[in-house]
Amino acid sequence: SARPGMAAAHGPVAPSSPEQVSHLPEERPFSLPPFSGTAPSVSLAESVLKVWHDAYNSGLLPQLTAQHSPAMAQNGAVPSEATKRDQNLKRGNWGNQIEFVLTSVGYAVGLGNVWRFPYLCYRNGGGAFMFPYFIMLIFCGIPLFFMELSFGQFASQGCLGVWRVCPLFKGVGYGMMVVSTYIGIYYNVVICIAFYYFFSSMTHVLPWAYCNNPWNTPDCASVLDAANLTNGSRPAARPSNLSHLLNHTLQRTSPSEEYWRLYVLKLSDDIGNFGEVRLPLLGCLGVSWVVVFLCLIRGVKSSGKVVYFTATFPYVVLTILFVRGVTLEGAFTGIMYYLTPQWDKILEAKVWGDAASQIFYSLGCAWGGLITMASYNKFHNNCYRDSVIISITNCATSVYAGFVIFSILGFMANHLGVDVSRVADHGPGLAFVAYPEALTLLPISPLWSLLFFFMLILLGLGTQFCLLETLVTAIVDEVGNEWILQKKTYVTLGVAVAGFLLGIPLTSQAGIYWLLLMDNYAASFSLVIISCIMCVSIMYIYGHRSYFQDIQMMLGFPPPLFFQICWRFVSPAIIFFILVFTVIQYRPITYNHYQYPGWAVAIGFLMALSSVLCIPLYALFQLCRTDGDTLLQRLKNATKPSRDWGPALLEHRTGRYAPTIAPSPEDGFEVQPLHPDKAQIPMVGSNGSGRLQDSRI
């Protein structure tokens, strides 16, 4: 039966002249008469009726009727789903909230937590650094994290689609895409090097343990040689190397450093001298991109399952390495170097700047990944809770990793008889030189090496998944038609192939120079500018009251007063402080003793500016295409939210997002839910109140 006020189903019905349909008795079979081919024109309502007519005759309609419960009519379900499940059938959702939390943890917890934070903490006052670090986490990190998660979740759009909130600033989304592209290119090269070391560790003796390899130089001195000579277990050979070790000379080069520089990289003497492509690294780069693609082949549906392992197993490895490290001689000395507070350094601006920068970059703010991952949440998910959990987990992981790193470094410093500061390092130097060398001192060193590099691979993959998904989601959301939604796998493949091809130069003999150049410039001050503009545009152009109402609609409660104050005043001020600090503390990039030439630094600045320039360039483009007689009118129109801004699903468009002008009968129709007691025929509302429904039928 159809609702009272609907036209009868016995033939075409004109929307302008509705007729009432009588209820069919329950014991009578439901049937639709054949459609007449003599109608002068076929309206949209007639087309819909014909679809349902064919569905009934094919036996599909009774099956759907049997599956639906009385609760359907109450929650507005459409015939394609048994209940209204708060799911976006078009884009997809996470399988459950654990998948989202684990993915976000894997995204935020990356290589920087292991190779950057412990060194920063040691260099900036040890335990005293924790104070400004957690202050910045509370006043900048968590608020920005919550803002990006709520932004993406409310609109269910990627880093481009969310800027329907203020079309003039859509260039911020393009800037995020550029940043994610740069990071995704070089980040997978780091993962490929970790793959190479992982495969090289599958041996009885690690290739960087001794100095008897063809690539070693006369200056090479192994810590194993030094330990054996000191214990008198080997003849007193190479005394010069031993004296270099014990007298803290700067002439010693470790076998791990020579393995890294002379064998793995075959490092050239200049950034412009590319030399040959290192085929082993190229092969590992292909492996890493294949792994990333396979894990994302079905989007969040497949990556959400992979993160159960990739986001949790690194903690297992960290714990194993921690337990092994703290039981070693000299580990306590290394940990004390890591934690001993130097309170006088709290008064230095550099310490606070480093703390703010580390929080900002570690959480992945302004990369676009947080917005993208949150866009696959269900609309009413408590992203406030998630942002607190993920942010604290990320920072706790950084602190925990410091114990793992410095316990082993303290052990190696004790073996060499040198200060811990002599063996402490950060970045690739820590991951591929200092720490691997320390592992050679442990029994069954290949096992510990395998675990360490496997952990690095998983940490890198967790971040790489989100970087690639950010780009793919932005492209698919921007195009937005059914064809590209069905071909999303091919979009993912295309982005992965492009990333592999662009990463090939980084596997050459000058690749490490370019990798560090991209790391230092592509994602530095540009991220700060992007984040600052995002805060200002949401809080002051869209309006803080409107945004707080959006969050209340989504979560059921407004953001806490603390977050309201941080978003409006504190966080933008801290972001501006980070920008000023970055400019003041700027030093030309170097790698070991190599000074980058001016033209290379200029390329670095161009990479940084390329993401920032997206903002003013797109703003000019938007102003040119916006209606208005004067510039001021165009500016006002370009900063107003577009008509399709708001929750993605019609069921969530309530309050000020509820449709105010109903579509005409020619534009849409209302699909009524089937009831087990009475079959209903979908018709166009006689009062013009028909609505568009997102349905799979």
Beta bridge partners of 277: 508
User: What is the CB-side half-sphere exposure of residue 137 using CA atoms within 13 A?
Assistant: 19
CA 567/CA 585 separation, integer angstroms? 26
To 10 degrees, the CA torsion angle through 251, 257, 259, 264?
-130
- Does the annotation flag 461 for ligand binding? no
CA neighbor of 338 nearest in space, from 125, 136, 133: 125
Q: How far is CA 517 from CA 27, 333, 527, in A?
A: 77, 34, 16
Tell whether the torsion through CA atoms of 160, 166, 170 and 173 is positive or negative: negative
Q: Cα 655 vs. chain centroid, distance in angstroms?
A: 32
- The answer to whether residues 386 and 611 touch, using CB atoms and an 8 Å cutoff, is no
Token pair 């690749």 is found at: 511
- The answer to whether residues 526 and 179 touch, using CB atoms and an 8 Å cutoff, is yes
Residue 427's region, left for phi above 0, alpha for psi from -120 to 50, else beta, is left
- Does the annotation flag 362 for ligand binding? yes
If you count DSSP H runs as helices and E runs as strands, how many of each does the chain have, helices first?
33, 2
Tell whether the torsion through CA atoms of 63, 68, 70 and 75 is positive or negative: negative
CA neighbor of 340 nearest in space, from 128, 118, 120, 114: 128
Find the helix or strand (DSSP H, E) in which 590 lies.
strand 590-591
- Does the annotation flag 459 for ligand binding? yes
- Does the annotation flag 124 for ligand binding? no
CA 279/CA 274 separation, integer angstroms? 14
- Does the annotation flag 109 for ligand binding? yes
Q: Residue 492 is which amino acid? A: T
Which two three-digit tokens encode residue 206?
């690690």
Binding-site residues, in ranges, read 106, 108-109, 113, 362, 394, 459
Binding-site residues for Na(+), in ranges, read 106, 108-109, 113, 362, 394, 459
